[in-house]
Amino acid sequence: MVTGGAGFIGSHVVKLLAGKYPASKIVVFDALTYAGNLANLQELDGLDNYVFVKGDITDVDSVRRVLEEYGVDTILNLAAESHVDRSITDPLIFARTNVMGILTLLHAAREYWGDQLEGKLFYHISTDEVYGSLGFEDGPFTEQTPYSPRSPYSASKASSDHFVRAFGETYGMPIIISNCSNNYGPYQFPEKLIPLTVNNIRNGKPIPVYGKGENVRDWLYVGDHARAIDLIMNHGTPGETYNIGGDCEISNIEVVKTLIEITDRLLGRPEGASADLITFVKDRSGHDLRYAIDHSKLTRELGWRPATAFRDGIEHTVKWYLENSAWLKGVTSGEYLDYYTKMYASR
């Protein structure tokens, strides 16, 4: 059962698992709020080992029904409200989904699995933002870094992490948590920096950059993240936490400049033609200065490491957005919200 499987990261994970494990039933459980898009999974329609169920992780009866109907033995939780700006505007939604939703999943799983825990797993995908903010001279986050969330979003994710660990300790539930750095790649909702910038360059709109653009993020290609999740799900040690990073620290302004160079070139425009679209705006409240992930535990224990260089990944990503203008238009116009109705209303 993959919660949030119609979202950006979730859809990449589902497609990887559906192709790799044809004998396993993969149940996508997603509320299809603004960031969930069934068009992300349309290539799986008709596969025998894939099924979609529309549902909310805060609805315990819906969760119970799915667990029982499909005999779920593994829960991959990717369902989350994840945009910091939205959490500043409405933190209650983040508490509802990211805290109460995960608690509901845990409670339903404990009820359904009972004492039959052999072969069961609750795998919770979290974020590096729970660790707080690093200075430029600080070492990267490790699995032992104390939590220090600084936004309603990261506070809600930190809370869900604590509940997952508590169920592991209190009830003996087999749990795993992974904390990842900033993901990028195809199918990302265009409120995020990279797809927003590409779309604005194409349409000649201002590119908003917080402050001076000096904030640094560790960028992880979504395909590499999906591989890590698959590896951890199958070979990780229950009760453990694994950090997943991209070995790629870049400031926001450098990311934007790279996107301008690539997008202008692919559109046949003069180099740097869109540079004047950069618009520095008031910095976000509590904006974390720097994130960096030490993934050495995952590399040492399970042999994973990021395989996609940023330049290669970002080139592929920009090409995908430019070549999939219908997907982007559907999302920015809101048409994608009708996809579920069109695809499933007659079934």
Residue linked to tokens 């829960």: 75
Residue 173 near residue 106, CB atoms below 8 Å: yes
Residue 241, helix vs strand vs coil = strand
Mean pLDDT over 269-285 rounds to: 92
pLDDT score of 104: 98
pLDDT at 257: 97
Backbone angles phi, psi at 141, to 5 degrees: -65, 135
> Alpha-carbon distance 64 to 62, whole Å?
5
In the predicted model, what is the mean pLDDT of residues 209-231? 96
In the structure, what pLDDT confidence band is assigned to residue 325 with cuts at 50, 70 and 90? confident
Gyration radius of the chain over CA positions? 20
Q: Check whether 5 has a pLDDT greater than 60.
A: yes
pLDDT bin (cut points 50, 70, 90) of residue 346 is very low
Residue whose C-alpha is closest to residue 28's, from 228, 269, 45, 183: 45
Q: Indicate which residues carry an active-site annotation.
A: 128-129, 153
Q: Is 39 helix (H, G, I), strand (E, B) or coil?
A: helix
User: Does pLDDT of 347 surpass 50?
Assistant: no
Cα-based distances in Å from 32 to 7, 37, 206, 219: 8, 6, 29, 26
DSSP 293: B
For residue 193, what are its two tokens? Answer: 């920096």
Per-residue pLDDT, averaged over 159-176, amounts to 98
How far apart, in whole angstroms, are the C-alpha atoms of residue 268 and residue 286? 39
Question: Of 147, 144, 166, 167, whose CA–CA distance to 156 is shortest?
Answer: 147
- pLDDT confidence of 326, banded at 50, 70, 90? confident
Rounded CA-CA distance 110/1 in Å is 15
Distance CA 120, CA 3 (A): 16
Q: How many angstroms separate the CA atoms of 75 and 41, rounded?
A: 19
Q: Indicate the pTM of the whole model.
A: 0.93
Backbone phi, psi, residue 51, to 5°: -140, 145
Residue 189 to residue 171: CA distance in whole angstroms: 36
The stretch 259-280 carries a mean pLDDT of 95
Residue 39 has pLDDT above 80, yes or no: yes
More confident residue, 308 or 286: 308
Q: Rounded mean pLDDT of the chain?
A: 93
CA proximity to 199, closest of 316, 86, 85, 332: 332
CA dist 1 and 122 (Å) reads 10
Q: What is the dihedral of CA 201, 203, 209, 215, to 10 degrees?
A: -40
